[in-house]
Amino acid sequence: MHKQNLIRGTSPLFIILFCLLISSCKDKPSSDAENKAAIEEATEALETILVKKESPEKTFRSLKGLADSTFVRLADFSDGFAYDMRYATTNNFLKEQVYECGECYTRVKTVKALLAANKAFKEKGAKIKFYDCYRPNSVQYKMWKIVPNPQYVANPKKGSIHNKGGAVDITLVTLDGEELDMGTDFDFFGKRAYHDNLDLPKEILVNRMLLKETMKKHGFWSTRTEWWHYNLQGAHKDPIANFNWDCE
Ligand SMILES: [Zn+2]
């Protein structure tokens, strides 16, 4: 498509230049004003071509040949997700920034399941927004130091499935980026965030059910007390990881 645009963009330029060079294009000699207008038009066409060359359409990495256990950056494979990486800000229950910058890294098998789930959400006019993905074990230690309570933070010695690259904290947004009402904010610790709390407005229950059922169909299981947290099946068996992504 990009190539076609270039060809389409090129032809008027050549027609204009051709007409400028070959006077037989016109019945009478061109006036200065006509020449000036033609040159301006040609310059504009050339600028359009140059801009297109400088910003080609985004290309994505292929999952082909990558081992399921490899850690990758989700945004390199799709631009169909939204992100609000809360631990790279102070807008989280710790009230501290524990990531240098916000990125969503996870294992290839988790990426495959997320891409499939997001495709299903898109058919319903929604898409996944991430709050957290893979979390280096060193960050788990940082969080544990701030809140040393297993009710809110997994013990870093044991590790969380986030440390293993198999858990994601997510919500749903419309294709325009507007959040669907899930009843509480991310990391709200209380009964209102429980999956088995049915004492909520119907709209919230429907939104949560769409999230849970679709994720379940694509290989993720949920925990009873956090509507935003999803684990990929079998991911608890993977080793804890501790690499940090680059922040440029
Ligand atoms: Zn989580």
Residue 234 Ramachandran class (φ > 0 left, ψ -120 to 50 alpha, else beta)? left
Q: How remote is the CA of residue 237 from the centroid of ligand 1, in Å?
A: 17
CA of 161 to the centre of ligand 1 (A): 8
User: Which class for 79: exposed (0-12), middle (13-18), buried (19 or more C-beta within 10 A)?
Assistant: exposed
Confidence (pLDDT) at 20:
45
State residue 176's pLDDT score: 96
Express each pLDDT in 60-107 by its tens digit: 999 999 999 999 999 999 999 999 999 999 999 999 999 999 999 999
The answer to whether 185 and 193 are in contact (CB under 8 A) is no
Angular region, 15: left φ>0, alpha ψ -120 to 50, beta rest: alpha
Q: Mutual orientation of helices 202-217 and 108-123 as an angle, nearest 10°?
A: 130
Distance 173 CA to ligand 1 centre (A): 18
pLDDT digits (tens, 9 = 90+) for 14-58: 444 444 444 444 455 567 887 888 877 877 776 666 555 555 678
Residue 25 three-state SS: helix
CA of 96 to the centre of ligand 1 (A): 17
- 134 CA to middle of ligand 1, Å? 9
Task: Note whether 73 and 109 are within 8 A (CB).
Answer: no
Give the tokens for residue 222. 């949920």
> Bridge partners of 71?
107
